[in-house]
Structure 1
Amino acid sequence: MGNRLTKIYTRTGDDGTTGLGDGSRVDKDSARVEAMGQVDHLNAFIGTILAQASVPAHISECLADVQHELFDLGAELCIPGSARITDAQVARLERQLDEINEHLGRLADFILPGGTPAAALAHLARTACRNTERAVLALHRQDTEVRAELRRYLNRLSDLLFVVARELNRCAGVIDVVWIQRKGETCKKTPFC
């Protein structure tokens, strides 16, 4: 375990740089720090889902594992050359995705974000996951030290979060919000439509 912080502010980042886990310093707006920040952002969304009282145990257990793995993923980005995310974790996400999806109805329409508050938060987490995936891919294009396992993990996680949102609605007895194509309709409510 690394050093524990006794003081939260260090002033070392006042010059616009931040320290990586290997001791090097990089600009705070670098692609690596952007990817790390997106992972942190995603993990915060997962935490908001877990803070909902309506989340059933099988989902909270799954997402608790995800939170720890996202911390590991961020650590891998923070320490260039380290390896913490494995194909076994990607395979576990696939199994969980299949298990949850098995109880959901066939997908015949596009799903809109919504339903219960927990499901809406899962959809937010899904979009944050896609942002994270793009940031990690952008870093990969600049730095060959970003391993494929990270990209695979994030790609599966966004799919998992989609089915988690649907499962949260199902468990609450709420029907998914589906997209309805409005053929030829125009808005008559305001002059701005």
Structure 2
Amino acid sequence: MSQASTSPPLTPQFCFSTAALRDFLRISRGAIDDPITQHLNALVTPAKAGFDPSSTSQRAARPFSRQIDPQACQKFKDQVLFPSWQARSHVLSYCALVATSPDPDDPETALREAENERDRERVVNERLDPYSARFFPREPRTEQLASIIRLEQGVENIVRSRTWGVIKERCGEPSESWEQALEGWRKSQDTS
């Protein structure tokens, strides 16, 4: 069985290093959610009677998907899927908190203030130069991080919905949503 993703050490520097943040999310999704079909196929127990050579004498259409043992599915969800989702949720929540906090260590603060001062002193004559009014101020890195977190949370919702759809199809799960299932798992972790 696959290993669950674990959260990296969380610091504001980790969040502001968007390459590290996105790499963690990409690797975690690539290890657990992207190959979900392969993970579920690995849960199917092979035939206990062994290989029957006569089974190859006729070509028969195989069923598209076989149901998987409910206990094996539950074990996979409890030990691999939900802990990985929780680790990614924890990273995204922490980085969202960093993005909404003041950033006294922003290296571009002085540069942004100088650009804003120059913009205030700029003379705009749109009759002579219609493009003279354009000015694109730099965003603080907290706003850039907040934008990235919003995008990654959207991607996370799409990935989880897709993964949950495959799990429901293969494991014959009840009609609860992935949000409800994850919340139920979190509650069971709190009580243990």
TM-score, normalised by the number of residues in structure 2: 0.30
Structure label with greater radius of gyration: 2
More helix by share: 2
The answer to which structure, 1 or 2, has the higher relative contact order (CA under 8 A, 6+ apart) is 2
More strand by share: 1
